Amino acid sequence: MKDDGSQVQSATEAIRIDENDLARKKKEELAALLLTCKGQKHLVIIQSYPDPDAISTGLAHKVISEQFGIEVDIVYTGVISHPENIALVKLLGIDLKKWDTDFDLKPYQGTIFVDNQGTTVGPIIDAVQAQNIPELIVVDHHEQQTRLNPKFVDIRKVGATATIYSSYLREGIIKIERSRDEHLMTATALMHGIKTDTNGFVRAASEDFMAAAFICRFVDSDLLAQITSQSRSKQTMTIIEESLANRTIKESYSISGIGYVRCEERDAIPQAADFLLTEENIHTAIVFGVIVSPDQEETIVGSMRTSRITIDPDEFLKEVFGKGPGGRYFGGGKKSAGGFEIPVGFLSGGSDKEFRDMKWKLYKAQITQKILNKIGAVDDDEKDDE
Ligand SMILES: [Mn+2]
Nearest to 289 by CA among 300, 297, 298: 300
Lateral strand order in the sheet of 41-45: 96-98, 71-76, 41-45, 110-114, 135-140, 152-155
Contact between 272 and 280 under an 8 Å Cβ cutoff? The reply is no
- The dihedral sign for the CA sequence 80, 81, 86, 88: negative
- Tell me, in angstroms, the distance from the centre of ligand 1 to residue 351's CA: 34
- What is the per-residue pLDDT for 351? 72
Distance 360 CA to ligand 1 centre (A): 30
Dump pLDDT digits (tens) for 121-159: 999 999 999 999 999 999 999 988 888 999 999 999 999
Distance (Å) from CA 336 to ligand 1 centroid: 12
Residue 386's pLDDT band, with cuts at 50, 70 and 90, is very low
Amino acid at 319: E
pLDDT tens column, 208-263: 999 999 999 999 998 998 888 877 888 889 999 999 999 999 999 999 999 999 88
Å from CA of 289 to ligand 1 middle: 22
Q: How far apart are CA 374 and CA 369, in angstroms?
A: 9
pLDDT value of position 2: 45
87 Cα to the center of ligand 1, angstroms: 18
**Antiparallel, parallel or unpaired: β 248-250 and 152-155:** unpaired
Tell me, in angstroms, the distance from the centre of ligand 1 to residue 91's CA: 21
User: Rounded to the nearest whole angstrom, what is the distance from the C-alpha of residue 157 to the centroid of ligand 1?
Assistant: 11
Among the residue ranges 139-143, 284-288, 332-336, the one predicted with the least confidence is 332-336
How many Å apart are CA 363 and CA 375, to the nearest integer? 19
CA 166, chain centre distance (Å): 17
What's the whole-number mean pLDDT along residues 293-297?
A: 82
Residues near ligand 1 ion, CB 5 Å cutoff: 53, 115, 161, 197
Structural domains present in the chain:
6-228 (3.90.1640.10), 234-379 (3.10.310.30)
Q: In the prediction, which pLDDT does 280 show?
A: 94
d(CA 119, ligand 1 centre) in Å: 14
Does residue 5 have a pLDDT over 60? Answer: no
- Spacing, Cα 9 to ligand 1 middle (Å): 29
Q: Mean pLDDT, to the nearest integer, of 295-308? A: 92
Q: Taking a C-beta distance cutoff of 8 angstroms, is the pair 202, 277 a contact?
A: no
At 216, the amino acid letter reads C
Residue 103 CA, ligand 1 centroid: distance in Å: 26
Work out the average pLDDT over 78-101: 90
CA of 54 to the centre of ligand 1 (A): 6
Ligand 1 center from residue 197 Cα (angstroms): 6
Q: What is the Å distance from ligand 1's center to 355 Cα? A: 37
pLDDT band at 326 (very low <50, low <70, confident <90, very high): confident
Distance 64 CA to ligand 1 centre (A): 19
C-alpha 353 to ligand 1 mean position (Å)? 36
Ligand 1 center to residue 263 CA distance, Å? 21
Going from the Cα of 241 to the center of ligand 1, the distance in angstroms, rounded, reads 27
Query: What's the gap in Å between 2 CA and the centre of ligand 1?
Result: 39
CA 38 to ligand 1 center in whole angstroms: 28
Mean residue pLDDT across the chain: 90
The tens digit of pLDDT for each residue in 341-362 reads 999 888 888 778 888 999 999 9
What distance in angstroms lies between residue 53's CA and the mean position of ligand 1's atoms?
5
- The pLDDT > 90 percentage for the chain reads 72
Query: What's the whole-number mean pLDDT along residues 72-85?
Result: 91
Q: Using one digit for the tens of pLDDT, what is the confidence trace for 95-123?
A: 999 999 999 999 999 999 999 999 999 99
Determine the distance separating the centroid of ligand 1 and the alpha carbon of 301, expressed in angstroms.
18
CA–CA distances in Å: residue 280 to residues 38, 252, 329: 55, 9, 32
* Residues 341/256, Cβ–Cβ less than 8 Å: no
**In this predicted structure, what is the pLDDT of residue 383?**
46
pTM: 0.73
pLDDT band at 281 (very low <50, low <70, confident <90, very high): very high
| CA of residue 4 to ligand 1 center, whole Å | 36
Question: Using CA atoms in the order 341, 347, 349, 350, what is the torsion angle rounded to 10 degrees?
Answer: -130
Q: Is the pLDDT of residue 385 over 50?
A: no
Give the pLDDT band (50/70/90) at residue 309: confident
pLDDT level of residue 33 (50, 70, 90 thresholds): very high
* Distance between Cα 161 and ligand 1 center (Å): 5
Distance 267 CA to ligand 1 centre (A): 15
Rounded to the nearest angstrom, the distance between the alpha carbon of 92 and the centre of ligand 1 is 19
Please, which pLDDT band fits residue 384 given cuts at 50, 70 and 90?
very low
